[in-house]
Amino acid sequence: MIKIITRITLISTLAVLLSVLFACGSTSKDVGSADAIAREIEQAVLFERLTDMPADNLENYGVNATKLASYVIRLPAAVGAIVDELIVLEFRDAGEAAGATAGFQKYMEQRLSFIKTYNAQLYAIASRYVLKTNGKYLLFVINKESEKAEAAFDKLFK
């Protein structure tokens, strides 16, 4: 009889412990695909003449496209007077999103030093870029209203 009570107590304790661990492990709300997030951001912010680009462009940011569940890469169709960029990445593993920020930071260091030499107005816009992660999602935005894009991204996770 004591063995049965001990086993029931052990199983109950284990079930509660596993429930707590799974609840603590889910730090990010699933807000859908990268495309769904990009659409929400584009509702809040006007981007000028951006074109969808293939995953090979992610090499510029040090991201391996095979680690993604979905992505949106929207870059200027022509180089020059526009610095706007919208990139939303959904990684298969949440740890990958946080690790990818270093590549984006390196990209921006190079981009800002280049832009600074030829256009102060574009430099001012680009220097206010947003690079943010939430769970398995990464947002990268260059836009004169980057803070609105960041607010729209944050709102999706509340």
Closest CA to 119 of 68, 79, 147, 74: 79
Q: Does pLDDT of 9 surpass 80?
A: no
pLDDT digit string, tens, across residues 18-39: 333 333 334 445 678 999 999 9
Q: Which residue has the higher pLDDT, 10 or 84?
A: 84
Q: Does pLDDT of 153 surpass 50?
A: yes
Q: How many CB atoms lie within 10 A of CB 38?
A: 23
Element (H, E) at 139: strand 137-142
Domain spans in the chain, listed from the N-terminal domain onward: 27-156
Rg of the Cα atoms in the chain: 21
List the alpha helices (DSSP H) in the chain: 2-25, 34-44, 94-116, 120-126, 146-156
Q: Does pLDDT of 89 surpass 50?
A: yes
Closest CA to 47 of 157, 156, 148: 148
pLDDT at 138: 96
The percent of residues in the chain predicted with pLDDT above 90, rounded, is: 63
Q: How far apart are CA 25 and CA 23, in angstroms?
A: 5
The pLDDT-based confidence of 131 (bands split at 50, 70, 90) is very high
pTM for the model stands at 0.80
Tokens of residue 23, six digits: 């609840």
Q: How far apart are CA 55 and CA 125, in angstroms?
A: 25
Q: Measuring CA to CA, how many Å separate 69 from each of 81, 86, 103?
A: 32, 17, 19
pLDDT at 134: 94
pLDDT at 94: 85
